[in-house]
Amino acid sequence: MIYTITFTPALDYVIHTNKLVMGGTNRAASELIHFGGKGINVATMLHNLGRESVALGFVAGFTGRAIEDGLARQGLRTDFIHLDQGLTRINVKIKGDQETEINGQGPAISPTALSKLFAQLDNFRPEDVLVLAGSIPKSMPKAIYAEILQKLEPQGVKVVVDAIGELLVKTLPHRPFLIKPNLEELENVVDRKLDDIQSIEVAARSLQEQGARNVLVSLGAGGTLLIDEFAHVHRVHAPVGQVVDSVGAGDSTIAGFLDGYLDTHNYAYAVLEGTAAGSATAFSEGIALATTVSELIDQMNRAKGGPIRRSDSLG
């Protein structure tokens, strides 16, 4: 089973307006509500790809109930911990001639609530996968992701980490199965500008040397770069398409990678599907559907001059 943990889920209220006037009255041309948070985005894409997962995390108040009920209506499994105080955050995303975001803070997570999450981890099995994605509340210790990996090490669970800065770096000694920085995040971790693919590869290998088994770097329009646990380099260029909304693209990349890897244990195919899934979401309003992902895989295989298939051998 794949599990995701989202410490700070959110209702994403997306407003499209022709022009945003600061200090004035603005009217929406259209509006949408998405159930957000990086782990939830991963779970949603996994569901769209036909792979079961369980979304874990913390919810509070009427906004938390709305997320829980909404995900259930979409067919996603959840096992959230309910907090007694506060409200699950609302993020307002205004899209006009410029993009503006106001992200809510979210509720505090008490030590008692956190202990309930650790009790859930006791039930994990060696064949399970856990995705730790996104930021954490100020109430959490900055090494919380590392603590989770340390707890799961004896159980042999594969852990994916998508985090930034210290939150990511502290997990590396515990050998996460996969980390997925984007280019800016990778530059921040290694504290230098990465101007070409060779410098990006060197930086990715440095994180692998610190403990990460696989390092997958999102390069936006430049596609993805994977340094796998066998020291092989996989470079996949992004497919052609019109970017609609990049929110959730990186999370979809993780979901596509896991879906491909768990079916084939083929890193070449996994990074291909991950790149297609991330691009598909960038080309969509919300998390992309499986049909869009499949179309992009076909496009990318045609561009390569030969297919990489699920049935291909380990690479």
Q: Kindly list the distances between the CA atom of residue 238 and the CA atoms of 114, 186, 241, 270, 272, in Å, as whole numbers in the listed order.
A: 39, 19, 9, 14, 9
Amino acid at 127: E
> Which of 314, 280, 282, 284 is CA-nearest to residue 297?
280
With beta carbons less than 8 A apart as the criterion, state whether 109 and 89 touch. no
CA–CA separation, 22 and 194 (whole Å): 36
CA–CA separation, 230 and 307 (whole Å): 22
Q: How many CB atoms lie within 10 A of CB 32?
A: 15
Q: Which residues contact 72 (CB under 8 A, 6 or more apart)?
A: 78
Phi-psi region of 95 (alpha: psi -120 to 50; beta: other; left: phi over 0): beta
CA–CA separation, 88 and 28 (whole Å): 24
Residue ranges of the alpha helices (H) in 125-284?
A: 144-152, 165-169, 183-190, 197-209, 249-264, 267-282
> Which of 307, 293, 213 is CA-nearest to residue 256?
293
Residue 251 falls in the annotated catalytic set: yes
Q: Which two tokens stand for residue 168?
A: 């990511």
Active-site residue, from 228, 251, 298, 312: 251
Q: How many CB atoms lie within 10 A of CB 123?
A: 10
> Could you give the residue numbers annotated as active site?
251
